[in-house]
Structure 1
Amino acid sequence: MQNSVSHIKYGRQSGLGANRRKWLEVVKHKYFYLMILPTVLFFLIFAYVPMYGVVLAFKDFNYMLGIMDSPWNNFQNFRDVLSDPNFKHAFNNTLLISFGRLIIEFPIPILLAILLNEMRFGRLKRIFQTVFTFPHFISWVVLSGIITNILNDQGVLNQILVLFGFEKNAILLHDGSFLALLFTSNIWKEAGWSSIIYLAAIAGINPELYEAAAIDGANRYQQMKAITWPVLRNTAAIMLILAVGGIMNGGFDQIFNLYNPAVYERADILDTFVYRSAFVDSTGFGYSTTVGLLKSAINCLLLFGANFVVKRVFKEEGLY
């Protein structure tokens, strides 16, 4: 009996000691915690607190009653969404555009980082890196206005074509050319910024490895293949997992600012469909919340699936 009591007391004391040590560590590193506090507050206020609104997907929302007091609708919103041909069309478009981004856009930052790393002149390398990174800081609102003024019917490009006797090219009005515009403009805008993380991984490589490889007779390509790429593989695998986990997003900012009714057939994705459902077609917040919930659930499944494939098939480190 005395032994059991002493064990309980010892357990409580050790638990209190562990808690005290944790708080001492927090106090010791208080400035680090203060640095991350704004980020934590941002996600708490704008990501976690609004999550209670997800219940709208399961309710027949009534403005007078509010979210919590509105009656449950027995999954009627899900039946409406899954039977809506417009939803199916937007879903297919999202998959097409997102997989296109994954195949066409994803490798570009990796190649750009490798090419920048292979440049011999450091000053020229920094200039190119600045030039490639700068477009990231131009918002899609501004950039879409520039693109539209260049490519529309009375834009600069068509004026030049007419001047030299060619026919006008309505790039913004054709499905195929519009998709090509989406991919190329996003590469131009984001490739330089996305390459920074790969350049950071390359910067961690010991330069002596390249020197040793050069002494052994390895050329630049062999050095890249044997030294640079093995370091980039794990970083690329993690970025691939994150890209697959966001495959249902499609790129709302870019498409919303560039598309028009003429290309709805190919450019309307789930995010633009949700926007129109909530603010244009007035299908109700319950309907649009249901679409958003389905999109998030699919992204979550894809994230876990991609992590599993990367770890089991490619034998790389995953997110967890």
Structure 2
Amino acid sequence: MTASLLWKRIWKHKIFYLFMVPGIVWFFLFSYVPLYGIQIAFRDFMYSGGFSGSPWAGLKYFRQFFDYYQSYELIRNTILISMLKLLIGFSMPIILAILLNEVRNLKFKKTVQTLSYLPYFVSWIVVVTLMQRLLTPYGGPINDLLASFGMERIQFLYNTTWFYQIIVGSDIWKNIGWNSIIYIAAIAGIDQQLYEAAKIDGAGRFRQIWHVTLPGIRNIAVILFILSVGSLMSAGYEQLLLLNGPSTASIGSVLDVHVINSGITQGRISYAAAVGLFQSVIALILILTVNRLSRKYSEVSLF
């Protein structure tokens, strides 16, 4: 395609491109302009010198992180928690979207959608406070229910036995509704004639889901999975900060919390930038790798 033809097509659809401008500006200001600050990961950052006036330190802070006695533990915990969230939580919005699509009562459907969206807009501080009230062994309704059946009360929070279940479960509950929106939109875009053809062929609801709905949202699911892989080095700062304690530190300490504590609490700006850059580079490598594999085996990719 020649440059002149490309510009003609852009001008023809200028209204649609105009809608892209706010997103492009946002990404430029908040995703690309801050890249200038990456250099502090390679400098002995001083407030008096700023980004460009601080002396170079090379790979000093990267070596400090890998020499840190807990670095392996932080990386392991981050990847493990992120993998659990991805493997268990990724399919949940798809299931919810399919179930909602099968509901014929519009009032009930809208009610469930609204209730599933609401947790996404609630702060993790509120969510954890609610969990503490519900799960406490000292008068919490969950433990009161267990006690009424003659079972022992359980300390769910800050307990290594229940830690991963609490982390993954609360993350799914908070995000499942919001993440299902794009799948609901994708299902709505499937040609209804395909369902009619499936019915004529004698397919029930389950077979319609298997042979029409799932193939119809496959490409969207693959693209979102590729993007989700990039978060394997980020387990979630707020959630882990609030739900992790001294008793679960060995399995709950993650890179996100370590970076914030190092940079803000301890004032080690260059060290925190180095660890954050390490996370970003690994995330980029993961996305590129999974994208290449997806393009090779499923012909669906980001680019």
Quote the residue 1:214 is aligned against.
199
Q: Is 1:117 aligned to residue 98 of structure 2?
A: no
Q: Is 1:258 aligned to residue 243 of structure 2?
A: yes
Letter in structure 2 aligned against 1:212 = A
Q: TM-score, normalised by structure 1?
A: 0.85
2:259–2:276 CA contact under 8 A, matched in 1 = yes
Check 1:228–1:30 CA distance in 2 against 1; reply closer, same or farther (3 A cut): closer
Check 1:216–1:89 CA distance in 2 against 1; reply closer, same or farther (3 A cut): same
Letter in structure 2 aligned against 1:260 = G
Quote the RMSD (CA, aligned, Å).
2.7
Check 1:154–1:38 CA distance in 2 against 1; reply closer, same or farther (3 A cut): farther
Quote the residue 1:58 is aligned against.
42
Please, which runs of 5 or more residues in structure 2 have no aligned partner? none
1:245–1:306 CA contact under 8 A, matched in 2 = no
2:41–2:273 CA contact under 8 A, matched in 1 = yes
Report the 3-state secondary structure (helix = DSSP H, G, I; strand = E; otherwise coil) of the residue aligned with 2:100: helix
Quote the residue 1:318 is aligned against.
301
Quote the residue 1:9 is aligned against.
none
- In 1: Cα distance, 2:195 partner to 2:71 partner: 53
- In 2: Cα distance, 1:228 partner to 1:125 partner: 18
Q: Is 1:238 aligned to residue 223 of structure 2?
A: yes
1:98–1:249 CA contact under 8 A, matched in 2 = yes
- In 2: Cα distance, 1:285 partner to 1:158 partner: 43
- In 2: Cα distance, 1:151 partner to 1:281 partner: 33
Check 1:299–1:126 CA distance in 2 against 1; reply closer, same or farther (3 A cut): same
- In 1: Cα distance, 2:174 partner to 2:103 partner: 22
- In 1: Cα distance, 2:145 partner to 2:214 partner: 44
Report the 3-state secondary structure (helix = DSSP H, G, I; strand = E; otherwise coil) of the residue aligned with 1:247: helix
Quote the residue 1:48 is aligned against.
32
Quote the residue 2:181 is aligned against.
196
Please, which runs of 5 or more residues in structure 1 have no aligned partner? 1-13
Report the 3-state secondary structure (helix = DSSP H, G, I; strand = E; otherwise coil) of the residue aligned with 1:319: coil
Quote the residue 1:289 is aligned against.
273
Check 1:166–1:82 CA distance in 2 against 1; reply closer, same or farther (3 A cut): same
Check 1:41–1:155 CA distance in 2 against 1; reply closer, same or farther (3 A cut): farther
Q: Is 1:25 aligned to residue 8 of structure 2?
A: no
- State percent identity of aligned pairs: 36
Report the 3-state secondary structure (helix = DSSP H, G, I; strand = E; otherwise coil) of the residue aligned with 1:71: coil
Check 1:183–1:70 CA distance in 2 against 1; reply closer, same or farther (3 A cut): same
After TM superposition, give the deviation of residue 146 of structure 1 in Å: 1.3
Q: How does 1:142-181 map to 2 (within 5 A)?
A: 142-152=126-136, 154=138, 156-157=140-141, 160=144, 164=148, 167-181=152-166
- In 1: Cα distance, 2:107 partner to 2:151 partner: 42
